Chains A and B, each alone.
Chain A
């Protein structure tokens, strides 16, 4: 045989195999779905800027924003934030501004100031036709140094719906000492004290009282009134008002305001990891045990197959449940356990295939020409069972993924990660009253599990048809 450079044989075979496989329509669909999830898993950090276990991104139970395409824009809002602040003074020389950023500013008052007011203003042109679900604001005054000030000054903050009305957010407060000052009650529409300061009942929220369900222009204003001769520095920091809308992102938010899209995207990683690693372990064990039982035969075969039969009868999910409940929930244990209990069926298939191969003439011939057990196994038996391995791989992966999801659903998943199963489990357990069940929290993870399983099952069935001559004939 001449050794010229050419495409390796296995590569050609693999390519031919792929072409043949993908000529089956269902297999092509399966491959497309699988590629979609692989891309999702690989490019997770590019697809979403958030982390699955990160902070809340919006109000809780927000449906996706595209719901406005179905129901129309009326009544729906999204997150909004006021612009960077600008400073206006009643007289131009009142204070100097040494530093100023988007939401903080420092004001220096010389002792010679004539007195007057400084207005710090942020603006918002509210574009939505629904009120926000929640508003959370901040306004912090920090006076550095220690001891009393030379003169006291007043501070107040309000929101102004331009041309309509004004809402007091920080009732006028006199400050005469150094230190840190925050509005009290805290600016949060979830805070009953804040709502009652605005003069609305406990059952109402400042969010829809202040921000009407229509497009309008708003100002968020902090006023500092200093008397003549006031000297010193006043730092205004984190002067901000965040409006959390009642819709969010592609898949909305869960019960704590986390981004569901992020959890789904990162869940693809975990699911593929669980499915492939557990199946890898299962296939490896199955190959080893099946080959040993089939090829060594006799007492080895008897012992291995009796054990396999016994393990096959033991109900798989309940066994996993008690094992994980006793050992402790951790993703690694779960993967190992699923892998360790998914080899039995495959081992039986391999054993029967090896038993039939062992009697074939080409094995006899190899034996006769002096080939050892290892050589025969690797060069003659193994290539003949590769197709079985592919089929089994494709059908075991979804089983592993669904098993992990079931464990997570039952609350036995790794508590440090968020998988599709644990998302559904959380949705189910907080949805004790059915009206809490959010479709946008159930459909994305559920459909993901279903589609990823379907992808593997379609590929598996197509390969089965490809490799199984009896099925091929009848098509």
Chain B
């Protein structure tokens, strides 16, 4: 099987995964008694104009039709699932119970998606760069003081939960040393009028700094340790000895010869860790009142806003599945050793 076969297999796998996630969502939000049970109870016991109640039940999909006595005939499981499946594929998540707007509008139209991408993108990029660079340096000096210090520090930041790290940073850099704002995306005065562009950018960076730092500290440790491990392995290979024997500068040996060969697991890990970063982002946004998807999810938990919860879970799962697919494709293309089984 060649590369094409490998890609087709990965794509099929992804489709199966998406269907699996939709089924999971269906089970959680449609079959478990939580969300719909309450609504069904309410409409089932409602008194008043029977026609209005029937319309409501039809609209909510609780009843498919009514028999001659006006008794509700619930839709079959299959038809329910079919409708649900269609809705998920077309991103039709219904209305948010907090705002009454469509969930998709609340997600994208309010700028939440952009805010989250801004935070996630910054933190992921910085932590990848810093983690890999430090990992290479540490692997080159394995066993030294710098090595053990960096390993201890990254193990420590790794085991500090995001919410604690965030609160600590707020305590130090917003309360005791008032250098950065403690939360929010932009100052509230911007509602009245926005300053010139340069100042806007600088202010946004000031607001972004602490949450991005929190996420970076949470994520770089894994990259560092992984790079150190794979680099450690690569540096024992014969071609490194050869490169050094040729008299190549150490930097070339490290970054061109060793890192290139050690980079595959790092790429894969970055994709696999994506789910973890999204989880970290939910918490970081809650701590810093960062008006993104995570804070939205937090508020949805509080308000029992099930349409939002289900949309968020679906979108997050899609993102993670997508990241996995991309990493699989990249892996398949850049690793010459891969056997397309």
Whether B320 and A412, one on each chain, are in contact in the complex, defined by CB atoms closer than 8 angstroms, is no
Whether A317 and B159, one on each chain, are in contact in the complex, defined by CB atoms closer than 8 angstroms, is no
Inter-chain contacts of A410 with B (CB < 8 A): 282-283, 286, 298, 301
Q: Take A325-B309, A328-B34, A442-B167 as given contacts and tell me if A428 and B286 are in contact as well, using a CB distance cutoff of 8 Å.
A: yes
Per the bound structure, the CA–CA distance linking A445 and B183 in Å amounts to: 22
Range, interface on chain A: 35 or more
Inter-chain contacts of A421 with B (CB < 8 A): 163
Inter-chain contacts of B182 with A (CB < 8 A): 434
Q: Name which of A409, A427, A439 has the most chain B CB atoms within 10 A of its CB.
A: A409
Query: Chain B: which residue is nearest A310 at the CB level?
Result: B20
A383 at interface, CB cutoff 8 A: no
Tell me the residues in window 421-466 of chain A with beta carbons closer than 8 Å to chain B beta carbons.
421, 424-425, 427-428, 434-435, 437, 439, 442-443, 445-447, 449-450, 453-454, 457-458, 461
Whether A326 and B283, one on each chain, are in contact in the complex, defined by CB atoms closer than 8 angstroms, is no
Whether B160 and A313, one on each chain, are in contact in the complex, defined by CB atoms closer than 8 angstroms, is no
Per the bound structure, the CA–CA distance linking A199 and B182 in Å amounts to: 40
Inter-chain contacts of B162 with A (CB < 8 A): 406
Inter-chain contacts of A402 with B (CB < 8 A): 159, 161
Whether A406 and B161, one on each chain, are in contact in the complex, defined by CB atoms closer than 8 angstroms, is yes
Whether B161 and A405, one on each chain, are in contact in the complex, defined by CB atoms closer than 8 angstroms, is yes
In whole Å, how far is B107's beta carbon from the nearest beta carbon of chain A? Answer: 14
Q: Mark B3-28, 1 if CB is under 8 A from A, else 0.
A: 00000000000001100110010001
Number of A-B pairs, beta carbon distance below 8 Å: 142
Query: Chain B: which residue is nearest A454 at the CB level?
Result: B159
Inter-chain contacts of B120 with A (CB < 8 A): none
Query: Chain B: which residue is nearest A402 at the CB level?
Result: B161
Whether B301 and A313, one on each chain, are in contact in the complex, defined by CB atoms closer than 8 angstroms, is no
Contact of A412 among B170, B301, B324 (CB under 8 A): B301
- Those 8 A-B pairs whose CB atoms lie nearest each other, nearest first: A317-B279, A315-B275, A446-B164, A326-B34, A453-B159, A434-B182, A322-B313, A409-B163
Per the bound structure, the CA–CA distance linking A141 and B159 in Å amounts to: 58
Inter-chain contacts of A449 with B (CB < 8 A): 161, 164
Query: Chain B: which residue is nearest A328 at the CB level?
Result: B34
In whole Å, how far is A126's beta carbon from the nearest beta carbon of chain B? Answer: 32
Per the bound structure, the CA–CA distance linking A317 and B298 in Å amounts to: 12
Q: Mark A463-474, 1 if CB is under 8 A from B, else 0.
A: 000000000001
Per the bound structure, the CA–CA distance linking A326 and B32 in Å amounts to: 8
In whole Å, how far is A70's beta carbon from the nearest beta carbon of chain B? Answer: 14
Whether B159 and A322, one on each chain, are in contact in the complex, defined by CB atoms closer than 8 angstroms, is no
Per the bound structure, the CA–CA distance linking A421 and B306 in Å amounts to: 24
Whether A322 and B309, one on each chain, are in contact in the complex, defined by CB atoms closer than 8 angstroms, is yes
Whether B167 and A316, one on each chain, are in contact in the complex, defined by CB atoms closer than 8 angstroms, is no
Q: List 23 A-B contacts (CB under 8 A).
A: A310-B17, A313-B321, A314-B275, A317-B275, A318-B312, A322-B310, A325-B306, A326-B32, A326-B309, A398-B159, A405-B161, A405-B163, A409-B283, A410-B298, A410-B301, A424-B163, A439-B171, A442-B167, A446-B167, A449-B164, A454-B156, A454-B159, A461-B155
Q: Mark A313-349, 1 if CB is under 8 A from B, else 0.
A: 1111111011101111000000000000000000000
B317 at interface, CB cutoff 8 A: yes
B175 at interface, CB cutoff 8 A: yes
Q: Take A424-B167, A428-B287 as given contacts and tell me if A315 and B32 are in contact as well, using a CB distance cutoff of 8 Å.
A: no
Whether A314 and B24, one on each chain, are in contact in the complex, defined by CB atoms closer than 8 angstroms, is yes
Per the bound structure, the CA–CA distance linking A474 and B231 in Å amounts to: 13
Inter-chain contacts of B29 with A (CB < 8 A): 322, 326
Inter-chain contacts of B58 with A (CB < 8 A): none
Tell me the residues in window 276-319 of chain B with beta carbons closer than 8 Å to chain A beta carbons.
276, 278-279, 282-283, 286-287, 297-298, 301-302, 304, 306, 309-310, 312-313, 316-317
In whole Å, how far is B61's beta carbon from the nearest beta carbon of chain A? Answer: 18
In whole Å, how far is B240's beta carbon from the nearest beta carbon of chain A? Answer: 15
Per the bound structure, the CA–CA distance linking A318 and B279 in Å amounts to: 6
B108 at interface, CB cutoff 8 A: no
Per the bound structure, the CA–CA distance linking A446 and B283 in Å amounts to: 14
In whole Å, how far is A164's beta carbon from the nearest beta carbon of chain B? Answer: 38
B135 at interface, CB cutoff 8 A: no
A185 at interface, CB cutoff 8 A: no
Whether B275 and A326, one on each chain, are in contact in the complex, defined by CB atoms closer than 8 angstroms, is no
Q: Take A318-B317, A406-B283 as given contacts and tell me if A437 and B160 are in contact as well, using a CB distance cutoff of 8 Å.
A: no
Whether B168 and A442, one on each chain, are in contact in the complex, defined by CB atoms closer than 8 angstroms, is yes
Query: Chain A: which residue is nearest B159 at the CB level?
Result: A453
- What 14 new A-B contacts, CB under 8 Å, besides A315-B316, A411-B302, A437-B170? A318-B279, A321-B309, A322-B310, A327-B34, A409-B283, A428-B167, A434-B175, A439-B171, A446-B161, A446-B167, A449-B164, A450-B161, A453-B161, A457-B159
Inter-chain contacts of A406 with B (CB < 8 A): 161-163, 279, 283
Per the bound structure, the CA–CA distance linking A409 and B279 in Å amounts to: 13
In whole Å, how far is A343's beta carbon from the nearest beta carbon of chain B? Answer: 17
B174 at interface, CB cutoff 8 A: yes
B211 at interface, CB cutoff 8 A: no
Q: Take A319-B313, A449-B161 as given contacts and tell me if A327 and B16 are in contact as well, using a CB distance cutoff of 8 Å.
A: no
Q: Name which of B32, B275, B276 has the most chain A CB atoms within 10 A of its CB.
A: B275
Tell me the residues in window 46-104 of chain B with beta carbons closer than 8 Å to chain A beta carbons.
none
In whole Å, how far is B106's beta carbon from the nearest beta carbon of chain A? Answer: 17
In whole Å, how far is B147's beta carbon from the nearest beta carbon of chain A? Answer: 12
Contact of A318 among B155, B164, B316 (CB under 8 A): B316
